[in-house]
Amino acid sequence: MAKMKNGNLYVLSLGGSLIVPDEIDYKFVKKFKGLIEKKVAKGNKFIIVCGGGGLNRKYNEAAKKVRKLSNDELDWVGIYATRYNAQFIKILFGDLAHSEININPHKKTLTKKPIIIGAAYIPGWSTDYDAVYLAKTYGAKKVANLSNIDFAYDKDPKKYKSAVPIKNIDWKGFRKIVGDKWEPRMNKPFDPIASREAEKLGLEVAILNGKKLKNFENYLDGKKFVGTIIK
């Protein structure tokens, strides 16, 4: 089997809030699938790392009502939620996707398929970190973080009305905003540990609203888009 080449390769961190905000958003998934298939038909390749979203949240909430769990145990609940979502997405792409999901970002999958679906690895690793590490493994230079926000902000817009959207920022400035510590289920635009690794690798990360698929397509096509660029 041939190695996936990094020409026209896109690494996506697909937020679980898009797949399963509360219930499965099949309308979004169907449109997202159509867009990716359209780009694959033009010779592009994708590594798509799936988050846990509402599935993770529901299992975590239920588990905590039964007994007190450690962070590692809660992490494992979330890890398997991402893997379930990844299996769901992989199956929907049918023959276009590699037959197994990637759960080890150190491992380079050998495949002729244009799509590889990934999921969470081990406790302490967010799916953002997995996406960054997969970019390293495959030699990709860019990662797109798709979630339910249009931009990263200088502070939490849910808490501060004065929060300012960021269009362009360097890693030093961005890491001052998100800090250096990652915790399971933390609410940050991009994982602080993934940010540190991305800075080391010289990666460009785009943060954009995955729901706005035309805007996402503009990003894929190298056109002007609404979102945050960190590099």
Looking at residue 175, its pLDDT comes to 93
Q: Are strands 228-230 and 204-209 parallel, antiparallel or unpaired?
A: antiparallel
- The helix (run of H) or strand (run of E) holding residue 152 is strand 152-153
Q: Where are the domains of the chain?
A: 9-230
Looking at residue 7, its pLDDT comes to 54
Give the integer Cα–Cα distance in Å for 155 and 147.
17
Looking at residue 122, its pLDDT comes to 94
Kindly list the distances between the CA atom of residue 92 and the CA atoms of 95, 111, 123, in Å, as whole numbers in the listed order: 9, 18, 27
Looking at residue 186, its pLDDT comes to 64
Give the integer Cα–Cα distance in Å for 142 and 187.
22
Looking at residue 125, its pLDDT comes to 87
Looking at residue 155, its pLDDT comes to 85
Looking at residue 185, its pLDDT comes to 62
pLDDT, block means (10 residues), the chain with 231 residues? 61 96 96 98 97 94 94 92 98 97 94 96 91 96 94 88 93 91 72 93 96 97 96 94
Domain spanning 9-230 has what CATH number? 3.40.1160.10
